[in-house]
Amino acid sequence: MPIGEFDLIAKFFTRSVTRAALGVGDDCALFAASAGMQLAVSSDMLVEGRHFLPTVLPQRLGHKALAVNLSDLAACGAKPMAFTLALALPRVDEVFLDGFARGLLALADAHGCELVGGDTTQGPLNICITVFGEVPTGEALLRSGARPGDDLYVSGTLGDARLALEVFRGQLALAGAAFEAVRCAMEQPQPRVALGLALRGVASSAIDVSDGLLGDLAHVLRRSGVGAEVQVDAMPRSDVMRALPEALQRECTLSGGDDYELVFTAAPQHAARIAAAALTSQVNVTRIGAISAATGLRLIDRDGRAVVNTFGSFDHFKS
Amino acid sequence: MPIGEFDLIAKFFTRSVTRAALGVGDDCALFAASAGMQLAVSSDMLVEGRHFLPTVLPQRLGHKALAVNLSDLAACGAKPMAFTLALALPRVDEVFLDGFARGLLALADAHGCELVGGDTTQGPLNICITVFGEVPTGEALLRSGARPGDDLYVSGTLGDARLALEVFRGQLALAGAAFEAVRCAMEQPQPRVALGLALRGVASSAIDVSDGLLGDLAHVLRRSGVGAEVQVDAMPRSDVMRALPEALQRECTLSGGDDYELVFTAAPQHAARIAAAALTSQVNVTRIGAISAATGLRLIDRDGRAVVNTFGSFDHFKS
């Protein structure tokens, strides 16, 4: 006899909750934000074939589904508190669910983020997570705060997830270890939560890179009413990336997508505080350009020459 | 040229927000619960063919997607504040989106519940809403509070949504006006938010009926460690229902599902307060039985004779 909906919730997703007054199993989860805190909320939906491939290990998928949501909290400088999980599955697959739950809950535990409720149903595979964090009132990092003269930074490295996608698409060949490295970047992104927290009161704006650096940066520029000059050869790259043709490096780092790094701005006098934030959160941060009063995006190469922007941005209804 | 993801959000779902400090269009939505309040959170995922039929009007689907979530808040006695919407669509269909958004936002406005963020992607049609409400700390209605001797009540009428489903399945024929009435019950349920608020401090437990009265009541009994005696002929029924064979009436009212009425318990001395709550929230409330110390569910008919419980409960992975 197949396991039913309620058994499924109980078996894989019910855990004792500590933060929430009431967790999985009542009509609502109940919890309180601390005094003086705003609640930061973000929701992401992952669909097979679009956000992940059918070949992904369930454990990595569980990790990624929460990671992309935590990345949104990181971009706001919010501390993770709790999340809900809504899951549509074609059928009850206990091997899948066991792996998925382990990957999901391991990342949740690492960030002190509690599963407080959700929904399961039969249907084409679909994972929707809504995450809740808290941030002192008025201190959230926004897209709208970039100011002319600010330095422009990005965390970690860019483009590896795109390399993995190109391999899966048969457009690129990589040796075993190199492929494993970029596949890990695609399937197990590390949300920059600690960096986001460390950037409160230092960064003037932030966004996470999900659709490609230039596309996501454009949201910041539009919201802030400013422009930027970006040094295309300054993009932080992995060793795997550096071994590839330069045109491919630029394409993948500038518009690859699925990076879940933070792009942020800060006044030049905060350079030392940015370095300190990188150090405490144990992630590299690279200056990749500067904000200008003139709107629009100008790309320059290592010799200061203009680079024509032919780099796209990912759109779920256009790609 | 097809409309893209960002245009789509802007065109159909961006509205000025009043409650939230920051709404659709940043990495997170930001808002604060009032002092002394707990946040109540619920998430529901709706899949075509399982929660709604392909024939449903987009406007009604938009209504229902939010209604089932508001019903969870109602069952907790929480006041709606805000919600996020994650939407997977096979393609951008502006006629669908226009209707869907109108139905959704009309119900949201009626309950002062603000759309604060979300996600759109390409994929099999899937609607995931996470709703946030607030309730004074410690005053939420829970499933676990039913006590022996409590009266058992249900709001509105039961079973009409199931009648509509049977018509769509070709198992039942109803004349035009009767079909329209039950179809409306199925496609445009009215979440009992006002009743839920009025029951704070009066009801000892509550749940909303989504999977069928007896199945949902069983969750309350298990959580509360009690049993119940239910008068099967006391179920509140519409005129359409009353004209049908008695066996069908019992089946649909006791295990029909998709009702979104509140089942709740209260001490007998609160009978007048229950009546007052029904009056102020303008919904009928019917006493359908009583809670017992002996666990288990006993069904009796209008003559006090035992009725064998052959009524199922809806399970998304078993039906």
Q: Which residues of B touch A116 (CB under 8 A)?
A: 41
The residue whose two tokens read 């009066």 is B202
Q: Which residues of B touch A142 (CB under 8 A)?
A: 22, 26
In B, residues 208-237, which contact A (CB 8 Å cutoff)? 208, 223
Contact B104, B65 (CB under 8 A): yes
Predicted TM-score (pTM) of this structure: 0.89
Side-by-side strand order, sheet with A29-31: A29-31, B37-47, B126-136, B79-89, B114-122
CB burial readout B143-170, b (16+ within 10 A) else e: bbbbeeebbbbbbbbbbbbbbbbbbeee
Cα–chain-centroid distance for residue A147? 24
| Of residues B268, B264, B283, B18, the one with CA closest to residue B142 | B264
Phi then psi dihedrals of residue B292, to 5 deg: -120, 155
Whether B43 sits inside 8 A of A124 (CB atoms) is: no
pLDDT digits (tens, 9 = 90+) for A119-133: 888 999 999 999 999
What is the predicted pLDDT for the residue at A25? 58
pLDDT band per the 50, 70, 90 thresholds, residue A17: low
Residue A73 in contact with partner chain B when CB distance is under 8 A: yes
Residue A117 to chain B, least CA–CA distance (Å): 7
Give the nearest partner residue to A40 out of B28, B42, B73, using CB atoms.
B28
Residue A241 to chain B, least CA–CA distance (Å): 28
State whether ipTM is beyond 0.90: no
pLDDT in tens, chain B (319 residues): 344 555 666 667 666 555 555 555 567 887 777 778 888 999 999 998 888 888 889 999 999 999 999 999 999 999 999 999 999 999 888 899 999 999 999 999 999 999 988 888 899 999 999 999 999 988 999 999 999 999 999 999 999 999 999 999 999 999 999 999 999 999 999 999 999 999 999 999 999 999 999 999 999 999 999 999 999 999 999 999 999 999 999 999 999 999 999 999 999 999 999 999 999 999 999 999 999 999 999 999 999 999 988 876 555 454 4
Residue B241 to chain A, least CA–CA distance (Å): 28
Give the nearest partner residue to A32 out of B28, B39, B84, using CB atoms.
B39
pLDDT band per the 50, 70, 90 thresholds, residue A16: low
Whether B316 sits inside 8 A of A121 (CB atoms) is: yes
pLDDT digits (tens, 9 = 90+) for B64-112: 999 999 999 999 999 999 999 999 999 888 899 999 999 999 999 999 9
pLDDT digits (tens, 9 = 90+) for B1-18: 344 555 666 667 666 555
Whether B27 sits inside 8 A of A143 (CB atoms) is: yes
Whether A119 sits inside 8 A of B35 (CB atoms) is: no
Share of chain A above pLDDT 70, in %: 89
User: What does the block give as tokens for A221?
Assistant: 């520029």
Task: Reply yes or no on whether the pLDDT at A5 is more than 80.
Answer: no
pLDDT digits (tens, 9 = 90+) for B115-141: 988 888 899 999 999 999 999 988 999
Whether A27 sits inside 8 A of B143 (CB atoms) is: yes
